[in-house]
Amino acid sequence: MDVVGLFGDIGLPALTINHCRTPDGLPGECGDLSRCIYLIFDMVRLRRSVCFRNLFMVGICCPGITSTTTTETIHPNTTLIPETTVPTTVSTEAPTTKTTTAATTTTTTTTTERPIPTTVPIKRFNQKSTKKPFSTSTTIANITSKPTTTTIKGIEIFTPSPSPTEDPYILATEESTQNFTYASEFRCGTSGRDGRIVGGYESNPGQWPWMAAIFLDSHRGREYWCGGALVGTWYILTAAHCLSDQRGRKYRKEQLTVRLGDHHLFRTDDFMNPIEFKVSAAIPHPQFSRSGFYNDIALLKLRQPVTYSEFISPVCLPTPGLKANTLVGYMGTVTGWGTLSYGGVGSGSLQQVTMPIWDNTDCNRRYFQPITQGFMCAGFFEGGKDACQGDSGSPMVIPDRTRHWTVVGVVSFGSKCAQPGYPGVYTRVTEYLDWIDENME
């Protein structure tokens, strides 16, 4: 078995050393594999010794290494290393450069790992999969009029709440009712059928008409790769990390196909009539960094303009006035075709979940990755609901008082799926309105 294939290149600069515990419970330090290269002869132990992962960079907990320069008291490190979601693999018919309707397909799933906790001691989990899904639980946490503090596994977490005059499910600003700057020829953000959200479960066909499924053509055939949102007749908003592999090599635009107006990706008995579009330009943010997932936002320009219908229409982009609102305590809704549990297989049908938005300061305490203003976090403190594996690039939306929906976040990374105390992390769309405007011709 190829070690590099499993763990990525090991010929990397030495990683920052952190205290950890080996699979035997012995003290060690998390660093480069070269510190205990003998582990390559025991693949099971090598996998269990992984203590850090950030895309293709990996750290191994090597035993018996102690610092000779400082003496300190070691406290549990509850931060996590972020990892982007990786899509559910789907084998389909050969790709076509022509706009077509969807056909019945057969699905398989290929999974990789998400972030690994670096707690002391480290509690290992089954390291089999990738991506970022939804829980099937339907319990919604109550948002109180006063903030509270919740203790989860010994961690005190501040519970955000909107002001008493705000509805956590509805954008209160008047400007939010005018978010059709980028789709003025059609009223954006109009949810189809029943737009009410009460928990994490399968959506109704046609409920989210802006949802886009992005497929990648590779040597394995066609794979469902990422989610996205229609934001105009020509453009799809998604995550920048969806447009390149783990080594940062960009995919050719000819490899990408966008499907609109679908509900179940692999069935034709859902009474939908999806349409596929080829991509004329893939536009990741020029300052996107895979080391930290900064500026994880992108646009896809379609080869042909979209004709709006009951099942295909754009979501609203935020107005500049919304930038001053941190949205802390509001309930954001995420939709996507990701897996239903960490390491699970995709259901194929569009899922949805509604979660409270966190304060960035509190979210920053949870992650190794600095949570800057370009990010936003959302999730229940007790876990159980989250975007998940395969949901990268999918939108987080909030309705205004007229029940029109505005995209405020793009799924970026997280800690496995729906882990207690660790929210999912999203790109904050309001921070990139100028860039979006400049790149939507």
Each of the 441 residues of the chain gets a pLDDT tens digit; together they read: 333 333 333 333 333 346 788 888 888 887 777 778 778 777 788 888 887 665 445 678 888 744 333 333 333 333 333 334 444 443 333 333 333 333 333 333 333 333 332 222 222 223 233 333 232 222 222 333 334 444 333 333 333 444 433 566 666 544 433 333 444 445 798 887 544 433 456 788 889 999 999 999 998 899 999 999 999 999 999 999 999 998 889 999 999 999 999 999 988 877 889 999 999 999 999 999 988 899 999 999 999 999 999 999 999 999 999 999 999 999 999 998 875 544 445 668 898 888 899 999 999 988 877 899 999 999 876 544 444 545 889 999 999 888 899 999 999 986 545 455 678 899 999 999 999 999 997
Three-state DSSP at 309 gives coil
Asked if 208 and 191 touch (Cβ cutoff 8 Å), the reply is yes
Asked if 30 and 21 touch (Cβ cutoff 8 Å), the reply is no
Q: What local confidence, expressed as pLDDT, does residue 228 receive?
A: 98
Which one of the listed residues 135, 176, 203, 241 is annotated catalytic? 241
407 φ, ψ (degrees, to nearest 5): -80, 125
241 is catalytic: yes
Closest Cα partner for 136 from 405, 421, 384, 393?
Answer: 384
Q: Which residues contact 133 (CB under 8 A, 6 or more apart)?
A: 336, 338, 339, 340, 341, 342, 344, 346, 351, 386, 387, 388, 389, 390, 391, 417
Can you read off the two tokens belonging to residue 8? 């990525």
Rounded CA-CA distance 325/21 in Å is: 42
61 φ, ψ (degrees, to nearest 5): -80, 105
Q: How many residues does the chain have?
A: 441
434 is catalytic: no
Can you read off the two tokens belonging to residue 43? 């693949």
Closest Cα partner for 157 from 326, 380, 368, 330?
Answer: 380
Q: What is the pTM for the complete model shown?
A: 0.62
Q: What local confidence, expressed as pLDDT, does residue 63 receive?
A: 83
129 is catalytic: no
Q: Which residues contact 167 (CB under 8 A, 6 or more apart)?
A: none
Single-letter code of the amino acid located at 87: P
Rounded CA-CA distance 209/311 in Å is: 5
Backbone CA torsion sign across 11, 12, 13, 18 = negative
Single-letter code of the amino acid located at 246: Q
Rounded CA-CA distance 124/115 in Å is: 12
Can you read off the two tokens belonging to residue 182? 């980028």
Which one of the listed residues 32, 270, 296, 362 is annotated catalytic? 296
HSE-CB for 430 with a 13 A CA cutoff:
18
Rounded CA-CA distance 332/399 in Å is: 9
State the alpha helices, DSSP H only, in 202-339.
none
361 membership: H or E segment, kind and range: helix 360-364
* Chain CA centroid to CA 92, Å: 24
Which one of the listed residues 49, 392, 412, 415 is annotated catalytic? 392
Rounded CA-CA distance 350/134 in Å is: 10
Can you read off the two tokens belonging to residue 244? 């390149």
